[in-house]
Structure 1
Amino acid sequence: MVTETVVKIKAQYSQKMKKGNPIVLKDAIVSTDHLEAEGMIIRLVDEQNQFIGKGYYGKQNKGFGWILTRKENEPINHEFFHNKIMKAVQYRKPFFQDKETTAFRVFNGEGDGIGGLTIDYYDGYYVISWYSLGIYQFKEAIIEALTNLVPYKGIYQKKRFAEDGMYVEEDDFVTGERGQFPLIVKENGANFAVYLNEGAMVGVFLDQREVRKAIRDQYAKGKNVLNTFSYTGAFSVFAALGGAVKTTSVDLANRSRSKTIEQFSINGIDYEAQDIVVEDVFHYFKYAVKKQLLFDLVILDPPSFARSKKVTFSAAKDYTKLLQQAISITADDGVIVASTNSASFDMKKFKGFIDKAFRDSNKKYKILEEYTLPDDFKTIKEYEEGNYLKVVFVKKVK
């Protein structure tokens, strides 16, 4: 069976962990000397040797492991994983029954009780993402639990961790039948082409479902829309379906053009009537200012960190500056959809970025509505960083 060892937690971290925070930070551990193989069961105690919780050792960018149970005598075995996944599947029952949406998250890491693990559903296919070698050691038990609990066409996996110093973005077919790609899934009645066999990113970010719906149903009609950091053009598709006069999708990746054309096409939208620009977004902003272009709806959904040949972008440091550039090409009474998936700051601080950007631009604004993660991306209040998505619809007031 998996090796178990006692890990002592420093006083300044133990109280927060006792209250339910599940992450085991490297700095919280008194000594890491006895942590050998990832996947070890760790029994966490405070400096007075009082039990805190039990979990596993696994290194990822967030920490050194996760607490899985607060019950001292609960074994972490096949039954444990079966029960966690069963509860998660039951929680998503309404999603499984929705014929208009056939892609959603089934298991969301610490929100469902197992940090470092996510499972997504794509019309009968499941994609398991492992975020550390530690959780990957429980692969057999987790896959067995999933296959025993749900009907499935096929299962894929993504290894999202460093192995021998190399970051692995590997896709593996696991079991069932191999998919025929693109696989067409539905989201609120719209179509998305996804590729479960093309590395870590399959073609759509499921956490933005409610935001896309709002754009289509409330904001796009009759509008000239700019979608920056557009990836495969998902926001542009929903804007076009919502009656946008025109969409402009801008992304630096060469493949964004063909991917965006594909997403438009499977929704019956004439992609030639839309603009698809392969360019650094920051360069595009300068071009738009020079050409005096104005947009009624601007979507800003940058990665938390990005680097091009000339620009390095960090959401925590540079989002205000990015917003200022967006404000300069947004028409009066236009709307900016300001979005970030950075877990390094909260909604209050994000709204501070928005306020500073408008004040520095000498412009007034009004917050129309805001979004965080949808229901299938379950989170817990004891781990606020897990609720990473922050989206604010901001109106530029005359």
Structure 2
Amino acid sequence: MSDFANYTHDLRKIFARRQQLPAEGTTIFRAVHTSETAGLFALDIAGDTGVLSLYAEQTAAQEQQLAEACAAAGGLASIYLKRRPVEAKHKANTEREYLSPPLPLWGAERPEVVAFENGVPLLIRPAADLSIGLFTDARPARAWVRANTPARVLNTFAYTCGFGLSAALGGAQVVKNVDLSRKVLSWGQENYALNNLAAPDSDFLYGDVFEWLGRLQKRGDLFDLVVLDPPSFARHGGKVWRADKDYGRLAALAAAVTAPHGQLLTLLNHAGVSPAHFERLVSGGLAEAGRTGRLLERLPLGTDYPAATHLKAWVWGLEN
């Protein structure tokens, strides 16, 4: 269906199916998933604010029509727009304002929103870049971390530190968050502050994850749980990272800083990587590190992601 305005009636039916959402204590979730719109668009909600992601080019009038339809169906105060063409990753630095306009497409300005996930307050910035502060498809994985937190946790590719925050709230004695962006680590510290948790700079490690894993290994720092949540593709320092080829190397480095009988939580948001291939990548990485591991659990996506298979979130137990 090329005209998004034709979805006005369908949106009301989709929202009706979301009556169980937000779940108790949760005000940020996927209200409309791409599986319900033939891949054309998705809508995330944070409090009274919607974030509309478009995966097909439309006219300004069509974008406006869809935003108004989403606001009406969800009773929302504002709608922000994210344009996500296939080449969005390459345009992210050169066309930021086009891909992620700083002003709402419809309604009142909401540059910051405090939303809740399972009762945990989080700072969401709908007017930020394409990523607004939380990936809602990993909500069950964050809940697992909070419920199963060991003493020492390493959270890599931390972004705004949702997994680290979950571990800290779960009672971990030590949590280290690693990311290549000072901006998102600072954002993570704000999330800690929202939850009345101490956030010393020493727990927020700025820099390349691969370099930090090597550094931590040399120090002899070991963790009972290591969270791996890398991008599917990235360029940095002349190097190219492709999760479909390189995840095994990452798993090997992570295993080297995982305590005996510790656990790895491996996540991959890449629909093109089959579960069987992902299992081979991680198993191969563990073997490269001289560790034996067993897949303990495949965590689900939330019910707000019907028919979605893009995210793998698996818990591995190391047997040595």
Report the TM-score when normalising by structure 1. Answer: 0.74
Bigger Rg, which one: 1
- Letter matched to residue 92 of structure 1: R
Q: Per-residue displacement from partner, 1:8-32 (whole Å, max 9, x unpaired)?
A: xxxxxxxxxxxxxxxxxxxxxxxxx
Partner residue of 1:176? 107
* Structure 1 partner of 2:316: 394
1:201 equivalenced with 2:131 (yes/no): yes
Matched position secondary structure for 1:90:
helix
- Using the TM superposition, give the Cα deviation of residue 139 of structure 1 relative to its aligned residue in structure 2, in angstroms: 1.9
- Specify every segment of 5 or more residues in structure 2 that has no aligned partner in the other structure, as ranges: none
Give the letter aligned to residue 185 of structure 1. A
Partner Cα separation in structure 2 for residue 242 and residue 350 of structure 1: 28
3-state DSSP class of the match of 2:53?
Answer: strand
Query: Which of 27, 32, 36 is residue 102 of structure 1 equivalent to?
Result: 27
How far did 1:141 drift?
A: 3.5
Secondary structure of the structure 2 residue equivalent to 1:271: coil
User: For the Cα contact (< 8 Å) 1:373–1:388, is it kept in 2?
Assistant: no
Equivalent position of 1:116 in the other structure: 40
Q: CA deviation at 1:84?
A: 2.1
Q: Deviations for 1:252-273, whole angstroms, at most 9, x for unmatched residues? A: 1121231111011001111128
Tell me if structure 2 keeps the 8 A contact 1:307–1:313: yes
Q: Are residue 292 (structure 1) and residue 207 (structure 2) matched? A: no
Residue 83 of structure 1: how far off its partner (Å)? 2.6
Q: Could you tell me which residue of structure 2 aligns to residue 38 of structure 1? A: none
Equivalent of residue 75 in structure 2, options 108, 131, 151: 151
For 2:188 and 2:70, how far apart are their aligned partners in 1?
Answer: 33
Match of 2:149 in 1: 220
Counterpart residue type for residue 103 of structure 1? I
Question: In the alignment, what sits opposite 1:279?
Answer: 207
Measure the CA separation in 1 of the matches of 2:120 and 2:309.
26
Partners in 1 of 2:33 and 2:128 — Cα distance?
21
User: Following TM superposition, by how much is the alpha carbon of 1:170 offset from its aligned partner in structure 2, in angstroms?
Assistant: 2.0
Letter in 2 for 1:104: F
CA contact (8 A) 2:25 2:119 kept: yes
3-state SS in 1 of match to 2:132: coil
Alignment of 1:25-174 (within 5 A): 55-56=1-2, 78=5, 80-96=6-22, 98-109=23-34, 111-134=35-58, 138-161=62-85, 167=95, 168-171=98-101, 172-174=103-105
- CA deviation after TM superposition for structure 1 residue 77, in Å: 7.3
Cα distance change, pair 204–320 in 1 and its aligned pair in 2 (3 A): same
Residues 283-335 of structure 1, C-alpha deviation per residue, up to 9 Å, x if partnerless? 10110111111110000000001121153211001000110011111001111
Checking the alignment, whether the CA contact within 8 Å between 1:225 and 1:244 is kept in structure 2 is yes
Q: For 2:316 and 2:180, locate their aligned partners in 1 and report how far apart those are by CA, in whole Å.
A: 25
Unpaired segments ≥5 residues, structure 1: 1-54, 57-75, 380-385
Counterpart AA for 2:104 = F
Query: Is residue 2:115 matched to residue 1:185?
Result: yes
Q: Deviations over 1:193-233 (max 9, x none)?
A: 0111112111111111000001001x214x21000000111
Cα RMSD for the two superposed structures: 2.1
What are the Cα deviations for residues 104-141 of structure 1, in whole angstroms up to 9, with x where unaligned?
A: 001111x1133130100011111111122148763244
Specify the alignment match of 2:140 in structure 1.
210
Which deviations, in whole Å up to 9, do the C-alpha atoms of 1:312-362 show, x marking residues without a partner?
211001000110011111001111001100122111211111222222333
How far, CA to CA, are the matches of 1:362 and 1:193 in structure 2?
Answer: 40
CA contact (8 A) 2:164 2:176 kept: yes
TM (norm. structure 2) is 0.91
In structure 2, relative to structure 1, the CA distance for the partners of 1:373 and 1:136 (3 Å cut) is: farther
Aligned to 1:367: 295
Q: What SS does the corresponding residue of 2:145 show, helix, strand or coil?
A: helix
Distance 1:274 1:205, change over 3 A: farther
User: Of residues 222, 228, 237 in structure 1, which corresponds to 2:165?
Assistant: 237
Q: 1:302 aligns with which of 209, 230, 235?
A: 230
Aligned residues, how many? 312
Q: Identify the structure with the greater helix proportion.
A: 2
Counterpart secondary structure, 1:296: strand
Give the Cα–Cα distance (whole angstroms) in 2 for the partners of residues 137 and 115 of structure 1.
Answer: 20
- 1:303–1:228 distance in 2 versus 1, CA, 3 Å: same
